[in-house]
C-alpha cells in the first residue's frame, strides 16, 4: 500500500459517506412535505414519526463525514470548515433545530407550540438539502480561498488558509450552478421521502397523495439533475499534472474522467438506472419497495460524481481566487503513517453498518398506522 493508494482509498471512503448522507436526506425531504402530504394533525403526526425515527442516522452520518475529512484530508477541513464557516454553521444550525423540534414538538407545556416546531422541521427540510448541495457544488465550480503553507512558520498567525471574501462560504449560494445542484439534491430528497412514505406508512389516503405527488417531484429533480450533469460533462475542469502538481484548466475534464475511469461510469449509469427503476416501479406497478432501488441508485450516483471530482489527477476543491491553491488528494492529505493506521481502523465500519442494518430493520418492522399513533405515547 503506497501513499497514492491510501489517498485514493480514503477519498473513496469519504465519497461513500457523502453518498450515504445524500440518500439519508430523505428525512429532510419528508419534512419539507409535511404540510403538502399531511392535511390534518393525525396525518402530519404519521409523517413526522416516519422520518423522526431516522433523523439520528442523517445527523450521525453528517458528523462522520466531517470527521473522516478531518482525519484523511485535514487541509480541506481547515480550509472549508474554517474558512467557509457561515455556510457550515447554517447547515449545522438546521440539523440542531431539527433535533430540538422532534424532541419537543409533542411535549406538554413546550414554550413555542407544536406548529412552530413543525415550521422548524420545514425549514430544515428545505435549507438542509439546498445548502449541502450548494456546498458540494464547490467541488466542481470552485471556492474563493488562498492556501499559503509558508504561513505556518509565522508564530503570530500560523494559519495556512484564508478566505478571500467576507461572506465566508455564503457566496457559494450566489453561484448559479452551485444553487442548481442544491435544488437537484432538494428535489431528490423529496422523491426519496415519498418513496419512503410509501414503504413505511400504512394509510391509503397518504399513499394516494404520495403517488400523485411522485411524478411532479421526479420531473423537477430530473430537470435540475440532467442539466447539471450535461453541463458538468461539457465544462472546463481543474486538472493536476501528476509530475509537477501544477494545476491548470482542462476542457471537458470531467467527461475525460468518466471516459478514462470506465468503472466509475458504470457505477454512475447503474445508479441512474436504479433511481429511475425505483421511481417507475412505485408509480406504475404500485410497488412499496421502490425506496430500496432508488436509495441504492442514489448512493451509487453520488459516489460516482464524487470520485470523478477527486480521482484521475483532479483538484477536488478548486480555488477560483488562486488556481495553485486548489486542493488535491496529494497536497491536502494526512501523512502516510496516519492514512496507513486509519486504513485498518476503517474496517470497523463493517460492524457499524451491520448494526445500522438491524437497527433500521427493528424500527421499520411495523408500518406506521393511525392506530399506533393514537395508542402509543412514545411518539413525536
pLDDT category at 156 given cuts 50, 70, 90 is: low
Question: How confident is residue 157, by pLDDT bands cut at 50, 70 and 90?
Answer: low
- pLDDT > 70 in the chain, percent: 96
The residue with cell 440542531 is: 96
Cβ–Cβ under 8 Å, residues 67 and 349:
no
What is the predicted pLDDT for the residue at 44?
86
Residue 18 pLDDT exceeds 70: yes
- 380 band by pLDDT with thresholds 50, 70 and 90: low
Q: DSSP class of residue 143?
A: B
- Of 62-76, 94-108, 238-252, 292-306, the poorest mean pLDDT is in 94-108
Q: Rounded CA gap, 219 and 213, in Å?
A: 10
- Considering only CA atoms, which of 136, 9, 126 is closest in space to residue 62? 136
Q: What is the pLDDT of residue 95?
A: 86
Is residue 213 within a helix (H) or strand (E), and if so which, with residue range?
helix 204-234
Phi/psi at 319 (nearest 5 deg)?
A: -105, 125
pTM of the predicted structure, to 2 decimals: 0.93
pLDDT at 282 over 80: yes
Beta bridge partners of 95: none
* pLDDT higher at 111 or 11: 11
Q: Do 10 and 342 meet the contact criterion of CB atoms below 8 Å apart?
A: yes
3-state secondary structure of 163: strand
Query: Residue written as cell 425531504?
Result: 29
Q: What local confidence, expressed as pLDDT, does residue 363 receive?
A: 74
Residue 113 pLDDT exceeds 80: no
Q: From CA 66, how far away is CA 194, in angstroms rounded?
A: 28
- pLDDT value at 263 more than 90: yes
* Position 225 pLDDT exceeds 90: yes
Out of 104-118, 138-152, 256-270, the most confident range is 256-270
Q: Kindly list the distances between the CA atom of residue 201 and the CA atoms of 106, 142, 353, in Å, as whole numbers in the listed order.
A: 20, 41, 24
Using an 8 Å Cβ cutoff, are 340 and 6 in contact?
yes
**Three-state secondary-structure class, residue 21:** helix
pLDDT at 344 over 70: yes
Amino acid at each position: 500500500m503506497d501513499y497514492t493508494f491510501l489517498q485514493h482509498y480514503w477519498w473513496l471512503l469519504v465519497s461513500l459517506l457523502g453518498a450515504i448522507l445524500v440518500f439519508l436526506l430523505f428525512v429532510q425531504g419528508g419534512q419539507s412535505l409535511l404540510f403538502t402530504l399531511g392535511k390534518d394533525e393525525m396525518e402530519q403526526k404519521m409523517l413526522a414519526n416516519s422520518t423522526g425515527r431516522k433523523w439520528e442516522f442523517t445527523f450521525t452520518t453528517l458528523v462522520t463525514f466531517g470527521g473522516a475529512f478531518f482525519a484523511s484530508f485535514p487541509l480541506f477541513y481547515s480550509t472549508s470548515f474554517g474558512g467557509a464557516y457561515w455556510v457550515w454553521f447554517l447547515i449545522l444550525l438546521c440539523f440542531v433545530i431539527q433535533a430540538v423540534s422532534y424532541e419537543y414538538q409533542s411535549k406538554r407545556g413546550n414554550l413555542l407550540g407544536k406548529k412552530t416546531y413543525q415550521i422548524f422541521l420545514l425549514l430544515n427540510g428545505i435549507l438542509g438539502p439546498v445548502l449541502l448541495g450548494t456546498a458540494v457544488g464547490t467541488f466542481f465550480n470552485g471556492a474563493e480561498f488562498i492556501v499559503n503553507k509558508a504561513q505556518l512558520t509565522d508564530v503570530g498567525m500560523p494559519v495556512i488558509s484564508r478566505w478571500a471574501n467576507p461572506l465566508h462560504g455564503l457566496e457559494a449560494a450566489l453561484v448559479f450552478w452551485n444553487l442548481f445542484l442544491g435544488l437537484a439534491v432538494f428535489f431528490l430528497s423529496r422523491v426519496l421521502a415519498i418513496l419512503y412514505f410509501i414503504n413505511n406508512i400504512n394509510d391509503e389516503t397518504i399513499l394516494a397523495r404520495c403517488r400523485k405527488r411522485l411524478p411532479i417531484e421526479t420531473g423537477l429533480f430530473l430537470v435540475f439533475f440532467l442539466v447539471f450533469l450535461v453541463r458538468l460533462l461539457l465544462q472546463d475542469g481543474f486538472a493536476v499534472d501528476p509530475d509537477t502538481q501544477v494545476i491548470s484548466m482542462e476542457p471537458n475534464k470531467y467527461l475525460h474522467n468518466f471516459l478514462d475511469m470506465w468503472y466509475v461510469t458504470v457505477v454512475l449509469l447503474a445508479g441512474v438506472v436504479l433511481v429511475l427503476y425505483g421511481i417507475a416501479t412505485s408509480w406504475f406497478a404500485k410497488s412499496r419497495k421502490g425506496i430500496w432501488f432508488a436509495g441504492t441508485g442514489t448512493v451509487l450516483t453520488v459516489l460516482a460524481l464524487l470520485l470523478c471530482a477527486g480521482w484521475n489527477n483532479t483538484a477536488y476543491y478548486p480555488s477560483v481566487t488562486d488556481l495553485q491553491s486548489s486542493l488535491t488528494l496529494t497536497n491536502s492529505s494526512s501523512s502516510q503513517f496516519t492514512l496507513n493506521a486509519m486504513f485498518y481502523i476503517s474496517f470497523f465500519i463493517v460492524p457499524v453498518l451491520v448494526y445500522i442494518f438491524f437497527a433500521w430493520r427493528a424500527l421499520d418492522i411495523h408500518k406506521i398506522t393511525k392506530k399506533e399513533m393514537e395508542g402509543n405515547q412514545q411518539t413525536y
